[in-house]
């Protein structure tokens, strides 16, 4: 399944129609009512009453690409950082608990971008980058343009003992270490994309 996040709402491309039918918050998209997939992002953006829109497709990847054809794609990197105590690094930005992430610069490899953003936003260094956890997609508006950001999320290890320094110019108020068992409390009302990163990471038994 592919998901595009519109703040805390989801537009999902899914080959399993039963999954949509069993989701009480979901609306199943009918291609017959509007076959132009490229218009879906704008239509869904305006339909605030719909929390989840499922687009059934046996060719998930192709359908997913069609949907955001007219959106400007931005590549970004982020990190799920774990210390030697098994604690995870969370930031508090714009009233919501989040994970450090940011846009890839033209000269950067995406992995370098992910490391740099974590270092800048949290004030820690000497991170060890492990494997890719997942990619998430979310939309936003910038200067009248409809954007879609593809964030590459990496597992990182921090072995140091330095204190964190939140990047206040990026509206980050806190950067704290949270014990694994307390993470659900912190992310219960965060963005669905952040919960996806954690659920993917933990489901892989890491």
Is the Cα dihedral 60, 61, 66, 70 positive or negative?
Answer: positive
What the chain holds in terms of domains, given with CATH numbers, is 2-67 (no CATH), 72-203 (3.90.79.10)
For the stretch 137-175, pLDDT in tens is 999 999 989 999 999 999 999 999 989 999 999 999 999
Distance, in Å, from the CA atom of 205 to the CA atom of 68, rounded to the nearest integer, reads 32
- Predicted confidence at residue 205, as pLDDT, reads 61
> What is the tens place of the pLDDT at every residue in 28-52?
887 665 568 999 999 999 999 999 9
Beta bridge partners of 152: 77, 135
Please say whether the beta carbons of 183 and 88 come within 8 A.
yes
| Contact call for residues 71 and 31 (beta carbons, < 8 A) | no
């Amino acid at each position: 399944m592919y998901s595009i996040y519109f703040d805390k709402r989801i537009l999902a491309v899914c080959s399993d129609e039963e999954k949509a039918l069993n989701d009480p918050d979901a609306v199943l998209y009918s291609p017959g009512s509007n076959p132009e997939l490229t218009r879906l992002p704008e239509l869904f953006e305006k339909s605030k009453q719909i929390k989840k829109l499922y687009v059934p497709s046996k060719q998930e990847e192709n359908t997913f690409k069609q949907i955001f054809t007219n959106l400007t794609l931005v590549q970004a990197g982020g990190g799920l950082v774990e210390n030697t105590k098994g604690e995870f690094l969370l930031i508090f930005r714009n009233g919501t608990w989040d994970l450090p992430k940011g846009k890839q610069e033209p000269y950067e490899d995406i992995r370098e971008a992910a490391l740099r953003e974590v270092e800048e936003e949290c004030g820690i260094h000497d991170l060890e980058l492990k494997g890719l956890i997942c990619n998430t997609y979310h939309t936003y508006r910038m200067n009248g343009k409809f954007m879609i950001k593809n964030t590459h999320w990496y597992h990182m290890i921090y072995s140091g003992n330095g204190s964190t320094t939140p990047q206040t110019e990026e509206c980050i108020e806190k950067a704290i270490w949270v014990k694994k068992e307390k993470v659900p409390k912190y992310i219960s009302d965060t963005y669905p994309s952040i919960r996806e990163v954690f659920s993917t990471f933990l489901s892989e038994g890491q």
